[in-house]
Amino acid sequence: MTTPATGGESTGTGLRVSVITPEATVYEGDADQVVAPAWNGSLGILRGHAPLMALLGTGTLRIEQGGKSTSYTVSGGFLQVVDNTVTVLSEKASAA
């Protein structure tokens, strides 16, 4: 599991992101931006995004924080955005 930030709350300047599979929590930390492979195209999420539920397709999930990018290959599942928290529940997620 990659944990670039500690604590349960976002720093207030970005997003709090969790990527979860049935086997494990793959990523948990803060981010400036998330780009996800939604079922019908790419979806970009920044701080202040409206609440959203999206069906995930297969592709690369990119999490950007402080000029660094972390990528995961995901396949199926759901993405939820609420109160600057992004939760990705995916059937499969592996480092890309």
Whether the per-residue pLDDT at 2 is higher than 70: the answer is no
Using the predicted structure, report yes or no on whether residue 5 has a pLDDT greater than 90: no
User: Which CATH class for the 15-95 domain?
Assistant: mainly beta
* DSSP H/E element including 70: strand 68-82
Question: Side-chain half-sphere of 9: how many Cα atoms within 13 Å?
Answer: 3
Domain ranges of the chain: 15-95
Checking if the pLDDT of 18 tops 70, the result is: yes
CA gap 86, 18 in Å, rounded: 6
8 pLDDT higher than 60: no
